[in-house]
Amino acid sequence: MRPRVLGLLLPALLAGTLLAAPSTAVRGDDEEKPPLTMLREPHVKGVPRYGRTLEAVRGRWRPGPSRADYEWLRDGRPIRGETGFRYEIRPRDVGRRLAVRVTVHAPEHRATTVRVGVGRALHRVPVRRTVNYSVRVKGDFSSGVQQFKRLAQQTYDDPRGWRGRGVAFHRVARGGAFTLWISAAHLVPSFSSGCSAYWSCRVGRNVIINRDRWRWASPAWNNGPLGRRAYRHMVVNHETGHWLGFGHASCPGRGAPAPVMMQQSKGTDGCRFNPWPTLAELRAGRVAHRQQRLVDVE
């Protein structure tokens, strides 16, 4: 490619906004119809972060379009049902490339389509703190440990979790700032007399998940609409929240999502079961670390 041509193309490629020249759909009677002329390219307003809403702007055309259609894409594939000009970024979008196809229509003209790139969707906030942790087992386990490790890390990485407060969690082989335990139920009290064989617990730098609760959740939770996978997200978020310095919370109002720091294993007092920190918890001011001698029971 000639240097002059490359110099003209690079700014457009690096901008990452207009990904393709206008294309026209030619079918049957449309073959003889002229395309619309683009005066100002379509674009997307908004910041591509989880929890934000993007808005596609159709641009300016001659003649003025009688209709504009929108199709939102994730990694190049249509997102089912997302055909409006607004799109709210979801957890599954984080780390994926978003784009939108804008198709404009005008009488006696061929429909014209432009694909507009948005870029990779980001977490709610940037990483402000990285925490290393390790995983250990207490008791005899013939299986399930790898699943525990995998789901715990998924919980920590999820945009709805403590990552939304700017905390990134990185698993290491040993040591770290805290240890995440999966413990046989009868051995949980061995961490502290303040712990119960029935519930999970946090003792100093030890975040302890009770294997029975991990396997079967709790009666109160099982009477609710969410399943055991959601319970596992909740209990990891709850006990880790204690390590982060959060105490127990209460229901803010009937019908509201329960704070993840509420003891949802025992009930929600009119709130809705919820495995993730609420916005109020994510946006809470600085939380002081508790004394390592203190014990928090689920």
12-40 per-position pLDDT tens digit? 333 345 555 566 555 555 668 999 999 99
CATH value of 3-120 in 2.60.40.1730, 1.10.1040.10, 2.60.40.2700, 3.40.190.10: 2.60.40.2700
Listed by start position, the domains of the chain span 3-120, 129-297
Q: Identify the pLDDT of residue 20.
A: 53
* Whole-structure pTM value: 0.85
DSSP string, 129-175: EEEEEEEEEES--SS-HHHHHHHHHHHHH-TTTGGGGTEEEEE-SS-
Q: At what angle do helices 228-244 and 145-157 cross, to 10 degrees?
A: 70
Residue 126: asked if its preceding bond is cis (omega within 30°), the reply is: no
pLDDT at residue 72 greater than cutoff 80: yes
Residue among 3, 8, 12, 110 nearest 63 (CA)? 110
Exposed/middle/buried for residue 198 (C-beta within 10 Å: 0-12, 13-18, 19+)? middle
Dump pLDDT digits (tens) for 172-208: 999 999 999 999 999 999 999 999 999 999 999 999 9
Dump pLDDT digits (tens) for 105-155: 999 999 999 999 999 999 999 999 999 999 999 999 888 999 999 999 999
Q: Identify the pLDDT of residue 77.
A: 98
Mean pLDDT of 284-290: 65
Burial 60-76 (b: 16+ CB within 10 A, else e): ebeeebeebbbbbbbee
- Domain boundaries 129-297, CATH class: alpha beta
Band of the pLDDT at 76, cuts 50, 70, 90?
Answer: very high
* Integer angstrom CA distances of residue 223 from 3, 72, 176: 68, 37, 37
Q: Identify the pLDDT of residue 13.
A: 35
Mean pLDDT of 42-53: 98
pLDDT at residue 234 greater than cutoff 80: yes
